């Protein structure tokens, strides 16, 4: 079997382990059952969750059996980790709907074939029927309050406020590990390093209740040089659902990551071999302007998340927008998603204004005089065709899918007009 511990360490995916030596022994002795949980606190998983999903896939590929837990119960509570304020609670109906959406997403990343096929479980199945008295007697009695208060996530929230609801989250997650240990023989839990207190609490609960010793591992939080989390932008999270983050926006996010980060991101997300990744790192360092590593990562991840067909459309759209292909060959959904990432203006239906006005409307030029100079200098393009005359105006036949005009100033400054 593959030495998955060495693999995770090389990739920078192993932040903490409960006992590395005994974990290695357990993993090398034969297939182990392991789990990671995903709470339905939104209608989709995001890039941060993708780190955990792909780490689970690596462990599965090494021959071990994954349990993917979708938290129908814990999603009703909300984990206080990484938060400075109380989480807004969602209704049972909303959370139930999100459970099904996230179940479908998780199933795409983990193999359902073979002896180590993934099983997807919902902690509401065992938490829902449990009475409060049983919970307090069977689980709560094993948690010293002084140890819980000492946890950083709890201590940091005591002044700003922490409800008993969120305070109890650690008990619920620990009970999940115990229940999966009983039902499926699960002996390993993985999660982000911000979950370390919850991970070890679950292992400790199993030891207290059964006398068995189990394992926990955490991955580092993936952060940018400024300390913010990867997968976060000014507009919010980078979602895995194409209706929340389009495949085009998803692709461009990875194309635009900083040069100094590409090695770390390839090791974290790519399934390429060590030799291939090191080669991409070297080529990226030698020719940073070509963004070789970024494009390789963007292509691999967009294919993984959205499929090869969508990736081909995205690559074609990216090329076409900058004059390397025909815009009229792009389907409306892909074109609209691509143009949404650039400055956009609107004009009412009817007679279309001159290109001079449109360049100003979309913000590519600050004034009409600047727009005229841009045209005179040969730097203005409408639907990838150079604008030759200062009084040029688009015709109805120029509208892409009956409502879009693509404007470009020079090689890289892009904008669009939506008509109607």
pLDDT score at 269 = 98
Find tokens 């409306």 and name the residue.
332
The answer to whether the CB of 327 falls within 8 A of the CB of 321 is yes
Local structure of 114: helix, strand or coil: coil
What radius of gyration, in Å, describes the C-alpha atoms of the chain? 26
Does 363 or 163 have the greater pLDDT score? 363
Q: In whole angstroms, what separates CA 279 from the centre of its chain?
A: 25
CA dist 315 to 269, 309, 335, Å? Answer: 20, 10, 11
Q: What pLDDT, on a 0 to 100 scale, did the predictor assign at position 235?
A: 63
Task: Inform me whether the pLDDT recorded for 109 exceeds 60.
Answer: yes
The closest alpha carbon to 263, from 29, 10, 7, belongs to 10
Mean pLDDT of 250-273: 95
Which tops the pLDDT comparison, 303 or 89? 303
pLDDT in tens, 235-251: 678 999 999 999 999 99
pTM passes above 0.85: yes
Q: What's the confidence (pLDDT) of residue 138?
A: 92
What stretch of H or E contains 30? none
Residue 341: band (very low, low, confident or very high) from pLDDT cuts 50, 70, 90: confident
- H/E element, 108: helix 92-109
Give residue 1's pLDDT. 47
Cα 139-141-147 angle, rounded to 5 deg:
100
Q: Would you state the pLDDT for residue 65?
A: 98
The confidence score (pLDDT) of residue 85 equals: 64
State the pLDDT at residue 50.
Answer: 96
Note the pLDDT of residue 73: 94
Over the stretch 56-65, which tens digit does the pLDDT of each residue have? Answer: 999 999 999 9
Mean pLDDT taken over the chain: 92
Using CA atoms, how far apart are residues 273 and 415, in angstroms rounded to an integer? 39
Distances (CA, A) of 37 to 102, 106, 129: 11, 10, 20
Phi first, then psi, for residue 120 (nearest 5°) are: -105, 125
The predicted pLDDT at position 223 comes to: 86
Which domains can be identified in the chain, with CATH numbers?
A: 4-222 (3.40.50.620), 246-329 (1.10.240.10), 342-420 (3.10.290.10)
Give me the sign of the Cα torsion angle 185, 191, 197, 200. positive
Burial 40-67 (b: 16+ CB within 10 A, else e): bbbebbbbbbbbbbbbbbbbbebbbbbb
Phi, psi at 83, each rounded to 5°: -120, 145
Pairing of strands 236-237, 232-233: antiparallel
Residues forming beta bridges with residue 407, ordered by sequence position:
382, 415
């Amino acid at each position: 079997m593959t030495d998955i511990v060495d693999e995770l360490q090389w990739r920078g995916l192993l932040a903490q382990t409960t006992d590395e030596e005994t974990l290695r022994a357990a993993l090398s002795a034969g297939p182990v059952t392991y789990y990671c949980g995903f709470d339905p606190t939104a209608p989709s998983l995001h890039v941060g969750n993708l780190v955990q999903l792909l780490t689970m896939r690596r462990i599965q590929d090494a021959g071990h059996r994954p349990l993917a837990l979708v938290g129908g119960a814990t999603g009703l509570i909300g984990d206080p980790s990484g938060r400075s304020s109380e989480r807004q609670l969602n209704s049972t109906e909303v959370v139930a709907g999100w459970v099904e959406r996230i179940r479908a997403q998780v199933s795409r990343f983990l193999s359902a074939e073979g002896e180590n096929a993934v099983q997807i479980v919902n902690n509401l199945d065992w938490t829902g029927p449990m009475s409060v008295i049983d919970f307090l007697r069977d689980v709560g009695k094993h948690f010293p309050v002084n140890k819980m208060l000492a946890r950083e996530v709890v201590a940091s929230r005591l002044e700003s406020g922490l409800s008993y609801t969120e305070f109890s989250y650690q008990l619920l997650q620990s009970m999940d590990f115990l229940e999966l240990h009983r039902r499926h023989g699960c002996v390993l839990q993985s999660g982000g390093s911000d979950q370390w207190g919850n991970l070890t609490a679950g292992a400790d609960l199993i030891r207290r209740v059964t006398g068995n010793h189990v394992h926990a591992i955490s991955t580092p939080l993936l952060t940018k040089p400024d300390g913010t989390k990867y997968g976060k932008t000014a507009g919010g999270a980078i979602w895995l659902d194409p209706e929340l983050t389009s495949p085009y926006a998803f692709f461009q996010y990875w194309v635009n990551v900083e040069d100094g980060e590409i090695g770390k991101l390839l090791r974290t997300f790519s399934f390429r071999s060590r030799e291939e990744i090191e080669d991409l790192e070297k080529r990226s360092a030698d020719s940073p302007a070509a963004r070789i590593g970024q494009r390789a990562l963007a292509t691999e991840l967009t294919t993984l998340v959205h499929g090869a067909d969508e990736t081909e459309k995205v690559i074609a759209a990216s090329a076409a927008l900058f004059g390397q292909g025909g815009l009229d060959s792009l389907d409306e959904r892909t074109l609209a998603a691509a143009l949404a990432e650039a400055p956009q203006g609107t004009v009412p239906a009817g007679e279309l204004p001159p290109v001079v006005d449109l360049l100003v409307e979309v913000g590519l030029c600050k004034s009409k005089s600047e727009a005229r100079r841009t045209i005179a200098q040969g730097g203005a393009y409408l639907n990838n065709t150079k604008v030759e005359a200062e009084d040029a105006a688009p015709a109805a036949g120029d509208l892409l899918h009956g409502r879009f005009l693509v404007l470009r100033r020079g090689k890289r400054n892009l904008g669009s007009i939506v008509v109607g």
